[in-house]
Amino acid sequence: MALALLALPALVRYLMLLLDSRARGKNPEPPGIELFSWVGNAWSLFPVLHMLVFGYGTYLLGSSFGSAALLGSGLLLATLIPASLAVLAITRSPLESLMPRAVGGLIRRCGASYWIAPTYLLAAAVVLEWLKLLSLPDIVVEFLSFYLLFGFFTLIGSVIRPFRLDREVTIAVPMDPSDAQIDTQQTRARTDVLDHAYGFISRGNRAGGLEHVYGWLAEDPDPATAWPWFLEQMLRWENNVAALQLAQQYLSQLLHDEEDVAAVKVIMRCRLVNEAFRPLPDDIPLALAAAERCHNAELISFLR
């Protein structure tokens, strides 16, 4: 029981990672130790409630009203669950994933192709019942069950991917969020990305962690604030090698955009962390020119 509770958040989070990655047309990242935590990214744990409520509700209907009610509730759940999980992955909102308007809107948006997912779910349930009748070893049945489960979440992402729902505001919200709400959501999303990157870097995969950050920065709606935010947060880590590599890339952009003041500030900030910090070799002439235009004698002397 204790082992199941330990593994449950990792399983559910990775299933949602599969769905989300397929919906965005990306390859899912390798699972990390952060998936086992019960805190952070609370939305990704919401499918646990799906399983408990829907599963127990179906059991109650079957035991109280017989096989007809069990069959009817099973068909209804098979219809709604894929859409609910898809809305959850798109909006990151557990409440929105339970709204009939949002679930129905997604089904209408996907059209006939949506029904592939409910059909798969029903077929998987039939296959599992058939496997039980064959009296196969439990480990075989469990392996096939997990295979079908992973396939189900991957399929949902593949079904909604052609419609690019992750890039559209197709699921309405009651009102536009305030600036403060947008800032809070943006910070939370960036923090999630940074936590994931730290998981890679702390295990020695610095390149993988940085690529995760760069991937987010390429899609961030406000890169002008995203780059300095990530840099400042990473410079606070005990091991700041990855932060200084990020700084070199950020500095390269600033220099090529002729953002002299911002570029000089980045160099000076990083030199407070490591006096040996320098721009990328190809960027040193640009950095020297920026320092000269800003009349920063200390930096001019260092770069020469």
Q: For 91-127, how does the pLDDT look when each residue is reduced to its tens digit (9 = 90+)?
A: 888 888 888 888 998 998 899 999 999 999 999 988 9
Same domain, yes or no: 242 and 264:
yes
Domain count of the chain? 2
Query: At 46, is the pLDDT very low, low, confident or very high (cuts 50, 70, 90)?
Result: confident
105 and 211: one domain? no
Asked if residue 214 belongs to a domain, the reply is yes
In a domain, 228, yes or no: yes
Instruction: Compute the average pLDDT of residues 136-152.
Output: 89
Round to whole Å and give the CA distance between 159 and 22.
9
Cβ partners under 8 Å of residue 138, min gap 6 = none
Are 187 and 115 in a shared domain? no
Is residue 276 included in any domain, yes or no? yes
**pLDDT value of position 17:** 85
In a domain, 173, yes or no: no
Please check whether residues 91 and 200 belong to one and the same domain: no
Q: Are residues 35 and 142 in the same domain?
A: yes
Q: Are residues 106 and 32 in the same domain?
A: yes
242 pLDDT band, cuts 50/70/90, is very high
Work out the pLDDT band at 1, boundaries 50, 70, 90.
Answer: very low
Position 173 confidence tier, pLDDT thresholds 50, 70, 90:
very low
One domain, residues 19 and 136: yes
Q: Domain boundary residue among 167, 193, 211? A: 167
Q: CB within 8 A of 132, min separation 6: which ones? A: 141
User: Is residue 39 predicted with pLDDT exceeding 60?
Assistant: no
Tell whether 174 is covered by a domain: no
Q: Which pLDDT does position 175 carry in this prediction?
A: 41
Same-domain pairing of 231 and 153: no
Q: 136, 167, 198 — which closes off a domain?
A: 167
Confidence of residue 251 (pLDDT cuts 50, 70, 90): very high
pLDDT of residue 94: 84
Does residue 24 sit in the same domain as residue 148?
yes
Residue numbers of the domain that contains 277: 179-303
Same-domain check for residues 234 and 113: no
Q: Are residues 120 and 57 in the same domain?
A: yes
Report the pLDDT averaged over residues 207-228. Answer: 88
Residues 34 and 159 in one domain: yes
Residue 147 falls inside a structural domain? yes
| The domain boundary residue, chosen from 110, 133, 167 | 167
